[in-house]
Amino acid sequence: MPRIPRDKSFESTLALIRDPYRFIAKRCQRYEADLFETRLLLRRTICMTGPDAAQLFYDPSRFERRGAMPKAIQKTLLGEGGVQGLDGEAHRYRKQMFMSLMTPERIEQLVKRTAAEWQIRMRRWASAEEVVLYTELHELLTRAVCAWAGVPLVEQEIDARTREIAALFDHAGSVGIRHLWSRWARKRADHWMAQIIGNIRSGHAHPPEQTAAHIISWYRDSDGELLPPHVAAVELINVVRPTVAVSVYITFVAHALHEHPELRERLASGDEGYAECFVQEVRRFYPFFPAVAARVIQTFEWNGYRFPEGRRVLLDLYGTNHDARAWERPGEFDPERFRRWDGSPFNFVPQGGGDHDVGHRCPGEWIAIGLMKLATEFLTRRMSYEVPEQDLSITWSRMPPVPGSRFVIRNVRAS
Ligand code: HEM
Ligand code: MYR
């Protein structure tokens, strides 16, 4: 039986933190295998990359999520008690709640609401000396998604709420003070959302029926009970937070347009098919969510390798999106490749892979794509701007790895 290659170092957590997006693929190349074993956060962990590994990882009979995510990520980014840590029937039941929010009509309404916020902010940007796009997008998206989701925002609180939501994804994957700020933001955000759920349940607030706030407040779980208030809060944040995190992808849209100005004309012509290919290539090309974690349910063999019960397994998302077995010239930014893409749920996994309903694949993909296309339209057709000299390099050790300058623009004009 072949043995899973073992990484030489005793504990690899530091190496992973230093280079979270390339850590797994680099070592797999070194060991000439799809997988290797190491110790991460003091636990033996099998790290895997590529489409075959993704297909294995997304077989729900092999892996469970219970207890797989590091506590530090649950105490910040994800929260505790949410859909991400559920398995089997309980997961499928809860997942339906999220999937029911993602109808084309509802997504169209979110896109429209977001377009209105772009219009308002664009006017403000026109009179500003310089605009930091990434941070501006946090507030723009917070306003849009809260309105859409039925989450009330008091005007005086918007700045603080925006910062809290952004801290959940912008500072979760860091160490030191930034990480502590993310933990504090999680406490504040959970408390805030639990209050909103309480107001709805007590009849003091009545968001429209189709909104996430209404649906989550009144959702009956697989046991027939309403979700405990803190769990409902975590799930409502699971809609708001990642929508604001689309600011990362939109910043990458702006980055890609800057790096490849020759694409602008084609995008500005309103070619829908090409815009779709462009945003898909942004999601493939840029690093964002590094890896997903699970645990082996019962010992099994795969390609002769032994996966023992309880072992933690990480699937490399960035590396899979750049795997040369699935992608020609993976390091080149080329939207056209999506005209030839085979549509496999295992080779293109920026937001996870496999099946949306049965597995843990992100239910927010259509929102991300919709908001990225809208941003492309604004940045190519509905406004003009200049990109001054700045540090646009991607900091590979940062999660998420937004450009150093956070993308500054100036001389913004509506067009
Ligand atoms: C799950 C990435 C946007 C809601 C996930 C997963 C990833 C991911 C990697 C885990 C997949 C897995 O465990 O196998 C992203 C990225 C986004 C994004 C990079 C871009 C900003 C969204 C949006 C929403 C959303 C807009 C909702 C409005 C969720 C939820 C889950 C999830 C609820 C848990 C699903 C489950 O456990 O079954 N996302 N996501 N995400 N995402 Fe997203
Ligand atoms: C969201 O769910 O809010 C959208 C994506 C946020 C990505 C933040 C990236 C840093 C988190 C590190 C996760 C490490 C998992 C092993």
Quote the pLDDT of residue 30. Answer: 96
Closest atom, ligand 2, to C-alpha of 400: 9
146 is in an annotated binding site: no
Q: Is 368 in the pocket of ligand 1 (CB under 6 A)?
A: yes
Q: What is the largest CA-CA distance in the chain?
A: 67
Residues 196, 124: Cα–Cα separation, whole Å:
30
What is the radius of gyration, based on Cα positions, of the chain?
21
DSSP 408: E
Mean pLDDT of 182-209: 98
Mean pLDDT of 378-401: 97
Quote the pLDDT of residue 270. Answer: 86
Domain ranges of the chain: 12-414
Residues 110, 108: Cα–Cα separation, whole Å:
5
> Chain-centre distance of CA 119, in angstroms?
25
Quote the pLDDT of residue 8. Answer: 83
Residues 197, 229: Cα–Cα separation, whole Å:
7
Residues 6+ apart with CB under 8 A from 373: 111, 275, 276, 279
Query: Which of 106, 91, 13, 35 is closest to 301 using CA atoms?
Result: 35
Q: Is 346 in the pocket of ligand 1 (CB under 6 A)?
A: no
Closest atom, ligand 1, to C-alpha of 94: 38
Mean pLDDT of 313-341: 98
DSSP 234: H
For residue 165, give the ligand nearest its CA. Answer: 2
Q: Is 142 in the pocket of ligand 1 (CB under 6 A)?
A: no
Q: Is 401 in the pocket of ligand 1 (CB under 6 A)?
A: no
Quote the pLDDT of residue 335. Answer: 98
Q: Indicate which residue's Cα is closest to atom 23 of ligand 1.
A: 364
Paired residues of 307 in beta bridges: 300
Quote the pLDDT of residue 10. Answer: 82
pLDDT 10s digits, 93-140: 999 999 999 999 999 999 999 999 999 999 999 999 999 999 999 999
Mean pLDDT of 250-261: 98
Q: Indicate which residue's Cα is closest to atom 16 of ligand 2.
A: 291
SS3 state at 264: helix
Residue 165 has pLDDT above 80, yes or no: yes
Fold of the 12-414 domain: Cytochrome p450 (1.10.630)
Model's pTM, two decimal places?
Answer: 0.98
pLDDT 10s digits, 36-70: 999 999 999 999 999 999 999 999 999 999 999 99
Q: Indicate which residue's Cα is closest to atom 8 of ligand 2.
A: 169
State in Å: Cα 110 to ligand 2 middle. Answer: 22
Closest atom, ligand 1, to C-alpha of 360: 38
For residue 141, give the ligand nearest its CA. Answer: 1
User: What ipTM was predicted for this assembly?
Assistant: 0.99
Residue 331 has pLDDT above 80, yes or no: yes
DSSP β-ladder status, 43-48 and 312-316: parallel
Q: Is 242 in the pocket of ligand 1 (CB under 6 A)?
A: yes
Quote the pLDDT of residue 145. Answer: 99
Burial category of 298 from C-beta neighbours within 10 Å (exposed 0-12, middle 13-18, buried 19 and up): exposed
Residue 156 has pLDDT above 90, yes or no: yes
State in Å: Cα 66 to ligand 1 middle. Answer: 17
Q: Indicate which residue's Cα is closest to atom 43 of ligand 1.
A: 362
Quote the pLDDT of residue 9. Answer: 85
Residue 1 has pLDDT above 80, yes or no: no
Mean pLDDT of 341-369: 98
Residue 182 has pLDDT above 80, yes or no: yes
For the chain, what is the mean pLDDT? 97
Closest atom, ligand 2, to C-alpha of 70: 16
Mean pLDDT of 150-168: 98
**Is the backbone of residue 39 left (phi > 0), alpha (psi -120 to 50) or beta?**
beta
For residue 366, give the ligand nearest its CA. Answer: 1
Quote the pLDDT of residue 21. Answer: 98
For residue 243, give the ligand nearest its CA. Answer: 1
